[in-house]
């Protein structure tokens, strides 16, 4: 009897344990305090949190960069197929030499500056050839300069873009180009004939236009001129008698 009673107690304990597990699983599907999250879900959440943290740190890093200046000498007007030297200078802080070596029109803007910077110059209808290294180091007292040779290939209003990056080292050791600023410059590309007319407009209007009008008038009176020449020719051929003898 004792053996039978002991066996029944163990069987009752096992049954209650199984029932408790079933009830707990059932309640977890309805209770927000016990969300149904699998190990695969946990492995997905962790990289997302890490990526958000890196992005947050990157924003803070950029916000804390020192202020500086960027200057460029892209002209507002270019001649088709002519070669131009375009330069971009970057300095930390305010520099009186930010526009050094610039002989044409200059534009200066403020900019967040990092120690390691990269600049791209892009634009449709332009042949662009870099002259200086695209990745450069900027110290606290110096000015870094980028340079390109460009040739406009299309007539009319065209756009050039100066894209400025900071080369940032991420926590995993890799480097990333973080865009700091994009400068848009509109360029009016004209032909040599347009340049000639604009530079000699007074002479053009005083000489060429009257000559053109004279040609038009002569062409409109061509038939009358032709008849006059024929009459003179017939006059001299007839011996000046005004007609031919029978």
83 and 113 fall within a common domain: yes
pLDDT band at 246 (very low <50, low <70, confident <90, very high): very low
As a whole number of angstroms, the distance between CA 153 and CA 80 comes to 6
Mean pLDDT of all residues in the chain?
Answer: 77
What are 118's two structure tokens?
């990269």
Are the C-beta atoms of residues 69 and 94 closer than 8 Å to each other? yes
110 and 167 fall within a common domain: yes
As a whole number of angstroms, the distance between CA 56 and CA 114 comes to 18
pLDDT tens for 3-31 read 555 656 655 666 666 666 555 555 555 55
| Total Cβ atoms within 10 A of residue 28 | 13
Written as one string, the DSSP assignment of 108-147 is: EEEEE--SEEEEEEE-TTEEEEE-S-SEEE--SS-EEEEE
CA distances from 32 to 36, 66, 183 (A): 9, 47, 51
- Check residue 243 and give its pLDDT: 47
108 and 222 fall within a common domain: no
Q: Does residue 35 carry a pLDDT above 90?
A: no
Within a domain: 236: no
Question: Which residue reads 């480097």 in tokens?
Answer: 175
Within a domain: 19: no
155 and 222 fall within a common domain: no
- Check residue 220 and give its pLDDT: 64
pLDDT tens for 86-103 read 999 999 988 888 987 787
106 and 134 fall within a common domain: yes
Residue numbers of the domain that contains 227: 200-231
């Amino acid at each position: 009897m004792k053996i039978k009673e002991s066996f029944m107690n163990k069987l009752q304990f096992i049954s209650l344990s199984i029932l408790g597990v079933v009830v707990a699983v059932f309640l977890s599907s309805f209770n927000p305090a016990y969300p149904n999250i699998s190990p695969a879900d946990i492995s997905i959440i962790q990289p997302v949190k890490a990526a958000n943290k890196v992005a947050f740190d990157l924003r803070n890093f950029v916000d804390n960069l020192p202020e500086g200046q960027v200057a460029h000498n892209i002209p507002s007007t270019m001649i088709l197929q002519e070669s131009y030297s375009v330069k971009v200078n970057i300095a930390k802080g305010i520099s009186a030499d930010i526009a050094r070596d610039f002989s044409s029109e200059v534009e200066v803007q403020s900019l967040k500056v990092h120690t390691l910077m990269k600049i791209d110059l892009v634009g449709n209808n332009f042949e662009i050839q870099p002259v200086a290294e695209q990745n450069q180091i900027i110290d606290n007292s110096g000015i870094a300069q980028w340079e390109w040779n460009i040739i406009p290939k299309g007539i009319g209003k065209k756009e050039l873009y100066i894209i400025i990056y900071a080369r940032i080292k991420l926590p995993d050791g890799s480097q990333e180009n973080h865009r700091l600023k994009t400068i848009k410059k509109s360029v009016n590309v004209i032909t040599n004939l347009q340049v000639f007319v604009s530079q000699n407009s007074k002479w053009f209007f005083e000489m060429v236009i009257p000559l053109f009008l004279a040609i038009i008038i002569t062409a409109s009176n061509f038939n009358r001129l032709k008849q006059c020449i024929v009459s003179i020719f017939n006059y001299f051929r007839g011996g000046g008698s005004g007609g031919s003898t029978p």
